[in-house]
Amino acid sequence: MKIAHLSDPHFGTEVPAVVTALQAALSDIRPDMIVVSGDITQRARAAQFAAAAAFIDSLPPVPKLLVPGNHDLPLFNLPLRLLLPDHGYRSAFGTTEQERIAGRVSVIGFDATLRLRHTRGSLRPDHVRLRMAASADPSRWRIAVVHQPLHTLLDEDRDECLIGTAAIADALAACGADVVLSGHVHMPLLADTRAIFAGLPRHFVLSGAGTAVSWRTRPGAPNSFNLLQLDDATRRMTLTLHAFDAATQVFRPDYARAFALQADGWLTEPAAPRPSGLSSGPNTRQRTARHPSAG
């Protein structure tokens, strides 16, 4: 099973050449499912939702799941933001909390947007448990999707995490989550939770995706998406970051992490030797620009 994890396309700020390259990459990869973890648009305008919907329709005809991000709520139209904050999103993509099942994989989307908080997101742990319980079959892979992350690669982005991350992580672990897909900070993260939430009864994998097609990238993090590959036979998974190469105008695999299931959850396997030309991951020493969701 191959799942393409896209995030933060911010239609209204998309780069046409990157959009074309992403369409070609996904056509070549032929994923079994496509997930988009929020900030579909830049300003939640009707034309931006229409462009985003046309892009989603242009991708391979496989099950797709989207969740809204903070940019998918109108920022400047305050009456609409207060009374019907998700009107544009629902008109384009339907309900804000969806579920997709493909084979032995259940993907559960969560809406963490807050109409009174511009960039922050929140989930109630009891709501997480209720939604995840509907997919409690232990033979299935269980994947949760939310816009704001549980953790960020850079310390300076920690205020952009979900409010109450520890309680949410505990709820996800208790429900047997295997992977949590998120975006928001435009800085990829491929990790397990062992060093982040050490006390969890069952550890899971964090897939944080960069911005898929927007010019609102950050230093050291070009346009990218993550490819999640699940192996039923071995109960292993691999996350591969595909980054846009400006020189060749294509997306190519940049680096990968493999994970194995242990008695207490998922564990990152030792990194394999990388082919020449592949990076070791995001440049954590690179100073970053102002957080992209701040405006």
Write down the pLDDT at residue 136. 65
pTM passes above 0.85: yes
Residue 280 belongs to some domain of the structure: no
For every residue of 45-90, DSSP letters joined together read -HHHHHHHHHHHHHS-SS-EEEE--GGGS-SS-HHHHHH-TTHHHH
Residue 292 belongs to some domain of the structure: no
User: What CATH number should be reported for the domain holding residue 200?
Assistant: 3.60.21.10
Write down the pLDDT at residue 86. 81
Residue 291 belongs to some domain of the structure: no
Determine the 3-state secondary structure of 188 from DSSP. Answer: coil
Q: State how many domains the chain has.
A: 1
Residue 115 belongs to some domain of the structure: yes
Residue 46 belongs to some domain of the structure: yes
Burial category of 116 from C-beta neighbours within 10 Å (exposed 0-12, middle 13-18, buried 19 and up): exposed
Write down the pLDDT at residue 295. 60
Burial category of 17 from C-beta neighbours within 10 Å (exposed 0-12, middle 13-18, buried 19 and up): middle
Write down the pLDDT at residue 272. 56
Write down the pLDDT at residue 7. 98
At 2, phi and psi to the nearest 5? -120, 125
Residue 289 belongs to some domain of the structure: no
Residues of the chain with pLDDT under 50: 275-278, 280, 282-288
Write down the pLDDT at residue 165. 97
Q: Residue 190 belongs to what domain range?
A: 2-274
Report whether 11 contacts 53 (CB < 8 A): no
Burial category of 185 from C-beta neighbours within 10 Å (exposed 0-12, middle 13-18, buried 19 and up): buried
User: What's 7-43 look like in SS3?
Assistant: CCCCECCECHHHHHHHHHHHHHHCCCEEEEECCCECC
Residue 86 belongs to some domain of the structure: yes
Mean per-residue pLDDT over the chain, rounded? 90
Query: What is the per-residue pLDDT across 61-86, written as a single tens digit (0 to 9) for each?
Result: 999 999 999 999 977 666 655 665 68
Residue 87 belongs to some domain of the structure: yes
Report whether 124 contacts 164 (CB < 8 A): no
Write down the pLDDT at residue 271. 73
Percent of the chain scored above 70 by pLDDT?
Answer: 87
- 207 bridge partner residues: 181, 190
